[in-house]
Structure 1
């Protein structure tokens, strides 16, 4: 958790500077509106930045509330950003009603709320996650396809994406990736197999466990993209990011107030070129290594 009061003025300045450097859209007024809505929780939040390799794409920021439940949907509806009867909001409430679940948020600094996240303290069965109120039956219809590639009782996070009208389901999986495993995973999104060398690089940074994300359009059950997440020590010098100049710049310039900066690069795959890219996440404030270790230990207990 944050060890000092959240400096709103500094955050607005640093985020605005980062967006300008990366040619990303932002509005200081919108950022202030978001901070006003969550004011009472800022001192105890874990703040991240997120960027993709796509030119001019948004630089999101995340507010995570470790160790406590914050009713983010109520805050967002009170602010007028979402309708409480929005099926995605209902889905998020269904997920967060599970024991000790937490709600987190991703924000677009030019438009407002982008995603609601749910962190599950205990790994969840994908069948249950895709069968909650708010989701049409077409979402649950993909469960056999997910189970067929080994994705079943390992859901550690889920998210609703208001910007893209999609959902994300994340799985905590064992490392030691093989080309065969990766081909099955990316095949869910209609992507071509990943080159052997890329699989070897990914596997080196995804042991003993890693998170794998599946994006789905609930109304159709279509899976447009999947993603692999790794944790590295120096993302700006990370080999797979070479050639992705925007992400390298992001990692070099993203400010961090934590003693240790957490950096997470991600590989995204899909059938369309728009879903073939890399993205990166970096901690800004409130990162607690002990809490993250405890979170992982809960999942594998």
Structure 2
């Protein structure tokens, strides 16, 4: 490492921290700056080139948080860095082995880090190459994968969610895995299909907003855990350059976030998502602080999806 490297690392971390500070202030999110810098400094050597996104959400336990996500290259071990730096505790739970199992059995394009400015380190994302999406069935056979994925294969097939996976998110705090299907149904998910899916996994009846978003969804993912044999959540996501154009009523907090982001960058891209729960649904909005063309592949966006508002 050259003498310039620590300066570059520190500078990139401070720059992103300043952007986080501004957004958190707007949303009235209280956090400890040193805790944010601690996460950023662990991966800071690559921050100047990373894709960076911010996310806000509605609902209990989510409205007082601001999430930050950024990419890291495939030649690092993001889990080992997190453990060695004290961001995560070592554990013998299968969640600790999943990243290594994925790396040993799948071609990996890169990783992402996800943390809350209040709650700290949360997830590691595993990005699979668009040209080498991985079989859902093969992923279900990995020793450390939640058995609920294998038990859900028939559900996934019957509802046409897709045979392949392009992105996974390993949540170390909640000990769950997000599985993003590589090729969701063309034209989104029909309302009757959304209702059927949610009923089958004991989720709340969907609102009209959720049904409208399902119709326009470019992406679908499920959340699975090691302690339950069934899918815990189903999420539908739409991409847009203008969230106000969506056929939904935006939460006041999300509206405030959108206004702030669009003042800073009128051409920014957003992903708006709705997630099911047994006691209701909640909404999430992600904007890109720094974007590059590779994000389209990560998100599995069809050609032209962001050329015009969804």
Query: Same fold by TM-score, threshold 0.5 exceeded?
Result: yes
Would the alpha carbon gap of residues 194 and 219 (structure 1) be closer, same or farther in structure 2, given more than 3 Å must change?
A: closer
Correspondence 1:186 to 2:204: no
Tell me the residue number matched to 1:225.
Answer: 233
Pairing of 1:72-83 with structure 2 (within 5 A): 72-82=78-88, 83=90
Would the alpha carbon gap of residues 161 and 266 (structure 1) be closer, same or farther in structure 2, given more than 3 Å must change?
A: same
RMSD: 3.0
Would the alpha carbon gap of residues 282 and 21 (structure 1) be closer, same or farther in structure 2, given more than 3 Å must change?
A: same
Tell me the residue number matched to 2:163.
Answer: 153
Cα-to-partner distance string for 1:179-204 (whole Å, 9 max, x where unaligned): 2222233335423554567534542x
SS at match of 1:240: coil
Tell me the residue number matched to 2:222.
Answer: 214
Deviation at 1:101, TM superposition (A): 3.6
Count residues in correspondence.
Answer: 287
Separation (CA, whole Å) in 2 of partners of 1:240 and 1:34: 35
Would the alpha carbon gap of residues 194 and 138 (structure 1) be closer, same or farther in structure 2, given more than 3 Å must change?
A: closer
Separation (CA, whole Å) in 2 of partners of 1:103 and 1:212: 19
Would the alpha carbon gap of residues 196 and 39 (structure 1) be closer, same or farther in structure 2, given more than 3 Å must change?
A: closer
Separation (CA, whole Å) in 1 of partners of 2:143 and 2:58: 35
Correspondence 1:118 to 2:126: yes
Correspondence 1:27 to 2:32: yes
Separation (CA, whole Å) in 2 of partners of 1:201 and 1:152: 18
Deviation at 1:84, TM superposition (A): 6.5
Counterpart pick for 2:270 among 254, 263, 284: 263
Correspondence 1:61 to 2:34: no
SS at match of 1:92: helix
Deviation at 1:118, TM superposition (A): 0.8
Deviation at 1:233, TM superposition (A): 1.5
Q: What is the TM-score with the length of structure 2 in the denominator?
A: 0.81
Deviation at 1:73, TM superposition (A): 1.2
Separation (CA, whole Å) in 2 of partners of 1:7 and 1:19: 18
Tell me the residue number matched to 2:253.
Answer: 246
Counterpart pick for 1:162 among 161, 172, 175: 172
Q: Is the 2:124–2:171 contact (alpha carbons within 8 Å) kept by the matching residues of 1?
A: yes
Tell me the residue number matched to 2:52.
Answer: 47
SS at match of 1:231: strand
Would the alpha carbon gap of residues 44 and 197 (structure 1) be closer, same or farther in structure 2, given more than 3 Å must change?
A: closer
Separation (CA, whole Å) in 2 of partners of 1:64 and 1:34: 13
Deviation at 1:165, TM superposition (A): 1.6
Tell me the residue number matched to 1:272.
Answer: 279
Tell me the residue number matched to 2:292.
Answer: 288
Which region of structure 1 is more displaced relative to structure 2, 164-173 or 15-24? 15-24
Tell me the residue number matched to 1:199.
Answer: 211
Separation (CA, whole Å) in 2 of partners of 1:141 and 1:202: 24
**Unpaired runs of at least 5, structure 1:** none
Would the alpha carbon gap of residues 241 and 64 (structure 1) be closer, same or farther in structure 2, given more than 3 Å must change?
A: farther
Separation (CA, whole Å) in 1 of partners of 2:35 and 2:296: 34
Cα-to-partner distance string for 1:124-169 (whole Å, 9 max, x where unaligned): 2222223213235344222223223223412111111122221111
